[in-house]
A and B are shown apart, each in its own frame.
Chain A
Amino acid sequence: MDLSGISPVLLLASLIVASTPILLAALGELVVERSGVLNLGVEGMMITGAITGFATAVATGSPALGFLGAAVGGAALSVLFAVLVLWLKSNQVATGLALTLFGLGLASMVGQAYNGIRAPEMGDIAIPLLSDIPVLGPILFRHDWVVYLGVALVAGVWWFLNRSRAGLTLRAVGENHDAAHALGYHVLRLRFLAILFGGACAGLGGAYLSLVRVPQWTEGITAGAGWIALAIVVFASWRPLRLLLGAWLFGGISVLQLNLQAARVPIPVEVLSMAPYLVTILVLVLISSGRGRAALAAPGSLGQPFHASR
């Protein structure tokens, strides 16, 4: 065992990278849930984004176009969910599960042609001046543009929800859809847009795995990241800024466990690989119990179907 090979600065820098896919997916889901819809299909949309993004990037040679393709792929899959849940009034839990199963199947079928291909590389952008700060520079300011995009999106979603008129309406719809309807707001239209956004974000998160993290296509590449994203939304009590914290926590644990594996600590690899999932459970327990019960912060109409009555 050799722990001296683990550099804290590198560890923190790779933590930021490792947290990006979950952050993106969770951010999308947060907006979806704030609108009152529970989409359990994050894993399916993520892996669909992973393969559509990978395929686009390979075909065009451009990672940027790849991410665009991933967003489109994730959003396209979410349309299926939206139509079923919003207009055909299907059960949100069951439909979300179906979306995940479907997405996994779809991705692995499309992915057959892409096994063993490498993705076009994407360079890091060192932000001038800031990246030269010792310690903080390499940790925060020498990443690829998607990392910055993720953080910017967090700020954007925060602003949208708390400062914009449309965000207020979205929260109102998620809080009490009947009242929002009575005031004349378009519940289903807003939810549809939120679900699309959630799909696109999950797609981006998936593509970050296949284009940057791994970076190649492997079956089951998401390995539960979508589910962890769902857990982080609960952890964050549906607030964007806390989401950042949650994603870093989980990014940190997965990076740490990989580093410990590499350093050959005398713990079986399988036990180390369990760590992110066990920590997720632990965090869920902590956040669900006690005074600040997470459930109390949940949007009022979360998971309930909306059917306008007379």
Chain B
Amino acid sequence: MSDVLLAIRGLTKAYPGVVANSDVSFDIRPASVHALLGENGAGKSTLVKTIYGLVRPDAGSMTLAGRPYTPAEPRAARAAGVAMVFQHFSLFDALSVAENIALGMENPPPLRDLSSRIAQVSREYGLPLDPRRTVGDLSAGERQRVEIIRCLLQAPRLLIMDEPTSVLTPQEVDILFGTLRQLREEGTAILYISHKLEEIRALCEEATILRGGKVVATCDPRATSARQMAEMMVGGTLKTPARATIAGGEVVLEVQGLSAASPRQHGMALRDVTFSVSRGEVLGIGGVAGNGQDELLLALSGEMRTAPGMVRLGSDPIGRCSPSERRARGLLCAPEERMGHAAAPDMTLTENAFLTGRVRERLARGGFVDWTGARSFAERVIRGFDVRTPGPGAAARSLSGGNLQKFVIGREILQRPEVLVVNQPTWGVDAAAAASIRQALLDLASQGAAVVVVSQDLDELMEISDRFAALNEGRLSPARPARGLTVEEIGLMLGGAHGMEVAHAH
């Protein structure tokens, strides 16, 4: 067997206005785990989509096991032995596990045979899965198992994994790594995309680092510190947010026995969620996506109504109040999804400023909109939070993820909230913008507001929270002081490995 499985030479791909990949070259060896590192927007996604046949490069070539490799579509890539587990799972909620897996295969056997093969493979690799279950009812970790088994059934030579651990608890990560190591022993090459440096140090033998679409460095992660890799990734030094702690503020937001069904199909119901936040405090709520985060946000923002006493602001029951009434009282929210939830993509920044600023910034008189006022409010947000845009007349859609997120967070902060609830404040945001958003949240708390941060990023929560609680299957653990919590403790608070007790024992 040759020493190189996939050789990438000079891959270039440009989109209007952006060069996603520029002259990218590196080699992936068989029976190894190769890390692809880079910030959001560094060009990782485009590169793996090129390898998987979803994107055709403008220039450059690839060879797979010594032969030219130019996949015209994913089908061709799969036929050549390349499989991929997507970051946003390419699964079909209404279909069964077996049907989902059949869809990812070239020549699937009849469903009955396929089901027994699924059972067999899932036993071999310690990934229990019932082929008859409907995918929409599975947890995030189980859904990932569907994707992985789908790939494994093809016995791939190269397995691409795009940010696989972002939806897993620490215990689930351990099990995944066990599976990946087993695959490596069997000779499979793995291209592992992540920005979590400690994971890469634990798993990978080689790393290629992308920045601005170019390969900026390669290294052996086992012999490189996380900090060094981070600086190669960002191209500068990193600073951690600073804060002035104030303690012992009065409780402003109190959630008591909050139970509610999810308004969405395949959603997670909230079960008896109880917590409180005080002035000057940052409460971090961690958990794997799909465990009730969205529902909690909806219940707090007022998009979903509950019994009055379940949510209290100050001492007033507000469970029945509309989003506008809650804003008037000082409870502001920033949902996770920027495009289409926190902001309307096709509307201008001025209109988006009016969207939540109407009440507290007094932007409407007798129902008539004060567009001049809305515009100047938008301008204040743009200036105050360093939003890169031609001006308040630009459509929200034209902003990059990080800039729009700064606008969304800034829009709420500038309204001087009593309580601010944010969901995934830095998801898909580049490191510099993420740092400035975290700093802004800490500043807000130090000015006496209560801040609730819901996030999947445990590092982020540990960095900024005073207290930490975990959301698991719609239940919230009691909050504990964030300082001194170990990864294992957090993992257990997050519910350990979902449905993997058997596998874990073995």
Binding site for B on A (CB under 8 A): 165, 168-169, 171-172, 175-176, 178-180, 182-185, 296, 299-300, 310
Residue in A165, A180, A300 whose beta carbon sits within 8 Å of that of B94 in the complex: A300
Q: Which chain B residue has the least Cβ–Cβ distance from A179?
A: B90
Distance A168 CA – B98 CA, assembled complex (angstroms): 11
A172-B73 contact, Cβ under 8 Å, with A183-B90, A310-B46, A310-B55: no
Count how many chain B residues have C-beta atoms less than 8 Å from C-beta atoms of the other chain.
25
* Nearest 10 CB-CB pairings of A with B: A184-B74, A179-B90, A182-B90, A175-B92, A184-B75, A184-B73, A176-B92, A175-B94, A172-B92, A172-B103
Residues of A within 8 A of B78 (CB): 184
A176-B91 contact, Cβ under 8 Å, with A184-B53, A310-B55: yes
Distance A176 CA – B100 CA, assembled complex (angstroms): 11
Q: Which chain B residue has the least Cβ–Cβ distance from A173?
A: B92
In the complex, besides A180-B92, A182-B74, 10 extra interface pairs with C-beta distance below 8 angstroms are A165-B102, A171-B92, A176-B91, A182-B54, A183-B103, A184-B53, A184-B54, A184-B75, A300-B93, A300-B94
Q: Is the interface of B mostly helix, strand, loop or mixed?
A: loop
A176 x B93 contact (CB < 8 A): yes
Binding site for A on B (CB under 8 A): 15, 20, 46, 49, 53-55, 73-75, 78, 86, 89-95, 99, 102-104, 108, 265
Which of B46, B55, B90, B93 neighbours the largest number of chain A CB atoms within 10 Å of its CB? B90
Residue in B73, B74, B102, B265 whose beta carbon sits within 8 Å of that of A296 in the complex: B265
Distance A161 CA – B227 CA, assembled complex (angstroms): 53
Which of A172, A299, A300 neighbours the largest number of chain B CB atoms within 10 Å of its CB? A172
Distance A176 CA – B93 CA, assembled complex (angstroms): 8
Distance A309 CA – B70 CA, assembled complex (angstroms): 21
Distance A184 CA – B83 CA, assembled complex (angstroms): 12
A310-B93 contact, Cβ under 8 Å, with A165-B108, A182-B74: no
Q: Which chain A residue has the least Cβ–Cβ distance from B75?
A: A184
Q: Which chain A residue has the least Cβ–Cβ distance from B72?
A: A184
A183-B104 contact, Cβ under 8 Å, with A171-B95, A175-B92: yes
Distance A180 CA – B93 CA, assembled complex (angstroms): 12
Q: Which chain B residue has the least Cβ–Cβ distance from A178?
A: B90
Q: Which chain A residue has the least Cβ–Cβ distance from B265?
A: A296
Residue in A172, A183, A184, A310 whose beta carbon sits within 8 Å of that of B95 in the complex: A172
Which of A172, A182, A183, A296 neighbours the largest number of chain B CB atoms within 10 Å of its CB? A183
Q: Which chain A residue has the least Cβ–Cβ distance from B91?
A: A179
Q: Which chain B residue has the least Cβ–Cβ distance from A296?
A: B265
A175 x B93 contact (CB < 8 A): yes
A175 x B95 contact (CB < 8 A): yes
Residues of B within 8 A of A296 (CB): 265
> Can you sample 14 A-B contacts with CB below 8 Å?
A165-B102, A171-B95, A172-B95, A175-B92, A176-B90, A176-B93, A179-B90, A180-B103, A183-B74, A183-B90, A183-B103, A185-B103, A300-B93, A310-B15
Q: Which chain A residue has the least Cβ–Cβ distance from B100?
A: A172
Residues of B within 8 A of A178 (CB): 90
A173 to B: closest C-beta gap in Å:
9
Which of A179, A184, A296, A300 neighbours the largest number of chain B CB atoms within 10 Å of its CB? A184
B73 x A179 contact (CB < 8 A): no
A176 to B: closest C-beta gap in Å:
5
Distance A168 CA – B93 CA, assembled complex (angstroms): 13
Q: Which chain B residue has the least Cβ–Cβ distance from A169?
A: B103
Residues of A within 8 A of B46 (CB): 310
Residues of A within 8 A of B74 (CB): 182-184
Distance A182 CA – B53 CA, assembled complex (angstroms): 10
B244 to A: closest C-beta gap in Å:
43
Residue in A168, A299, A300, A310 whose beta carbon sits within 8 Å of that of B103 in the complex: A168
Distance A180 CA – B73 CA, assembled complex (angstroms): 12
B263 to A: closest C-beta gap in Å:
12
Residues of B within 8 A of A185 (CB): 103
Residues of B within 8 A of A184 (CB): 53-54, 73-75, 78
Distance A300 CA – B73 CA, assembled complex (angstroms): 24
B80 to A: closest C-beta gap in Å:
13
Distance A169 CA – B287 CA, assembled complex (angstroms): 34
B90 x A168 contact (CB < 8 A): no
Distance A176 CA – B86 CA, assembled complex (angstroms): 14
Residues of B within 8 A of A300 (CB): 92-94
A43 to B: closest C-beta gap in Å:
29
Distance A180 CA – B100 CA, assembled complex (angstroms): 10
A181 to B: closest C-beta gap in Å:
8
B16 to A: closest C-beta gap in Å:
10
A197 to B: closest C-beta gap in Å:
21
Distance A175 CA – B20 CA, assembled complex (angstroms): 30
A186 to B: closest C-beta gap in Å:
9
A179 to B: closest C-beta gap in Å:
4
Distance A169 CA – B108 CA, assembled complex (angstroms): 12
A179-B92 contact, Cβ under 8 Å, with A168-B103, A172-B103: yes
Distance A165 CA – B110 CA, assembled complex (angstroms): 10
A55 to B: closest C-beta gap in Å:
42
Q: Which chain A residue has the least Cβ–Cβ distance from B46?
A: A310
Distance A172 CA – B78 CA, assembled complex (angstroms): 19
Residues of A within 8 A of B73 (CB): 184
Residues of A within 8 A of B95 (CB): 168, 171-172, 175
Residues of A within 8 A of B108 (CB): 165
A161 to B: closest C-beta gap in Å:
12
Residues of B within 8 A of A310 (CB): 15, 20, 46, 49, 55
